[in-house]
Structure 1
Amino acid sequence: MPSHVGSYEGKGDPDNFLHLFEGSIRMQKWAIPVSCHMFTYTLKDSTRIWWNGQKKGSIFNYEDLKAKFRSHCSQQKKFTKTHLAVHNIKKKEGESTKAFVSRYTEDTLQILGLHEEQRISGFVHGLLKRSLVEFLSTDLPTTYKDLMEKTYTWIDAKEVATNGTSNDHQERSNKFKRNSS
């Protein structure tokens, strides 16, 4: 068994695992019966228990094995997010702006077919900092790259203005002082 296939323990997307396994079938030029036997050696933990519970003769061929495996592991399948999910990505209380930029960028890269305008709108919508929203809204960039450059300009300027203190820490401190008086 090629080492890159690894084993499937019931966690992760079963389709991703099948993709790797079927690549090995083609690379190794296994016959279908060999493929079925090799597949069972990749199963462990809950999927091994599932496999051991199958009645003898209940699986007819590799396609049947694949269908039953998918059906059993379907709750682990990763579902693709739609463009509407972008508006659910919000900056968390206490999360730095840099951390939010990273998380937002990573999350939106997983949304297939997301338009540039939707990505920009979702980012601004997800911010908690009014001063950053106002800064970005003045001559709002039309590309996500330009939006990120403008965001980092704001972050850098705030850090310089606060002598290197994290802008997020400074704003929380000021908010605490206002609420205390």
Structure 2
Amino acid sequence: MRSIGDIQQRNAHLQAQLDFFRREKQDDGSREADTVAEFRPFSTEVEAAMILDNMKTLVLESYSGDLDPKDHLLYFNTKMVISAASDAVKCRMFPSTFKSTAMAWFTTLPRGSISNFRDFSSKFLGQFSANKVQQVTINDLYNIRQQEGESLKKLMARYSTTSMKVEDVETRSCALTFKNGLLPGKLNSKLSRKPAQSMAEVRARASTYIQDEEDDAFKRKRAKIEKDGMSVKHSRKDRYGGERGDGNRRKEEKAKTTVKPTRKQLYPPREDYERRRPWLSQGYQRREEMDMVLNTRSEGAKGQA
């Protein structure tokens, strides 16, 4: 058996270990608190920038680090340009849109490392570059083709949406790629005879043909409606034998299809009359017999005279 001294010694050792772990935990919490308290990634000039009251109430979309960082940066910078924010204010406002992974990255930035918005944007784009959407190239514009039955207006809208995603592309190259995707037609022939130098020139030339297409489409639709209306009118004539004013044919058809009810159907006999009808019939029969007897007697009397 262990002696009391050994047990006390062991208890003292365990207590010392508990005190050590407790101090370590407190030290970890203190270090984390110190790290948060000492976090100051902005330079002195950026920290000194004043944020106006209207900027504090500005509603901004958040970014968690799982989408294209360029889209979020363009969105934020547009908001700041509209609000006439300075470069230092942009630096101070940009982290307010961070959350989740983006906020965790921001808290790791060294002290005083953010001195201007350009460097801050570069660090932000570099950190989340893996989430960038695949860029559209000039080859994607060459693959845009006008489909059969597709109007110039729809083709122009589809091409413009794609071309805005292409970076550092020459205006003449855009005009050539647009002409490459056209179907044979008036606009294609005109661009072949006199090539356009920019997409602005292409849009100016195409506007006339777009108006012509829309006018032709409107007239075709109107002609179809009028044709359908005439066919309905002719079918009405065939049915009634003439214009709507000629009602003789309709009256005849109505007379053929209408059955006139009998008097008995319109005025059915009463129940008590039907019940007394046999007795009335017998009374009539007896009266006829009496008339015959009287007639016979009268004829006999005349014969004797």
Query: TM-score, normalised to structure 1's length?
Result: 0.55
**Superposition pairs for residues 28-67 of structure 1, below 5 Å?**
39=95, 42-44=97-99, 48=100, 50=101, 59=108, 61=110
What amino acid is aligned across from residue 61 of structure 1 in structure 2?
Answer: P
- Which residue, 148, 155, 159 being the options, matches 1:100? 155
What amino acid is aligned across from residue 152 of structure 2 in structure 1?
Answer: T
**Distance (Å, rounded) in 2 between the aligned partners of 1:5 and 1:104:** 31
SS in 1 for 2:219: coil
**Distance (Å, rounded) in 2 between the aligned partners of 1:96 and 1:42:** 42
- Answer with 1 or 2: which has the greater Rg: 2
In the alignment, what sits opposite 2:205? 150
CA apart distance, 1:153: 1.8
- Which residue, 165, 169, 181 being the options, matches 1:126? 181
Check conservation: 2:137, 2:167, Cα contact below 8 A.
yes
**Distance (Å, rounded) in 1 between the aligned partners of 2:57 and 2:87:** 10
Check conservation: 1:136, 1:151, Cα contact below 8 A.
no
CA apart distance, 1:100: 1.6
CA apart distance, 1:96: 3.2
In the alignment, what sits opposite 1:140? 195
How many pairs were matched up? Answer: 151
**Distance (Å, rounded) in 1 between the aligned partners of 2:199 and 2:151:** 19
Between the two structures, name the one with larger relative contact order (CA 8 Å, sep ≥ 6). 1
**Distance (Å, rounded) in 1 between the aligned partners of 2:202 and 2:212:** 15
CA apart distance, 1:123: 0.4
**Superposition pairs for residues 80-91 of structure 1, below 5 Å?**
80-91=135-146
In the alignment, what sits opposite 1:77? 132
**Distance (Å, rounded) in 2 between the aligned partners of 1:123 and 1:8:** 36
- Identify unmatched segments of 5+ residues in structure 2: 1-55, 114-119, 222-305
CA apart distance, 1:121: 0.9
What amino acid is aligned across from residue 89 of structure 1 in structure 2?
Answer: I
* Cα distance change, pair 70–140 in 1 and its aligned pair in 2 (3 A): closer
SS in 2 for 1:130: coil
**Distance (Å, rounded) in 2 between the aligned partners of 1:123 and 1:89:** 8
What amino acid is aligned across from residue 110 of structure 2 in structure 1?
Answer: N
Check conservation: 1:8, 1:17, Cα contact below 8 A.
yes
Check conservation: 2:172, 2:196, Cα contact below 8 A.
no
In the alignment, what sits opposite 1:27? 89
* Cα distance change, pair 137–51 in 1 and its aligned pair in 2 (3 A): closer
- Identify unmatched segments of 5+ residues in structure 1: 167-181
- Which residue, 51, 65, 68 being the options, matches 1:13? 68
Query: TM-score, normalised to structure 2's length?
Result: 0.37
CA apart distance, 1:79: 5.2
CA apart distance, 1:111: 2.7
Q: Which runs of 4+ in 1 moved over 6 A?
A: 21-25, 65-69
**Distance (Å, rounded) in 2 between the aligned partners of 1:149 and 1:68:** 41
**Distance (Å, rounded) in 1 between the aligned partners of 2:191 and 2:73:** 44
CA apart distance, 1:152: 2.3
Check conservation: 2:63, 2:72, Cα contact below 8 A.
yes
CA apart distance, 1:8: 0.8
* Cα distance change, pair 43–144 in 1 and its aligned pair in 2 (3 A): closer
| RMSD, matched Cα | 4.3
What amino acid is aligned across from residue 108 of structure 1 in structure 2?
Answer: S
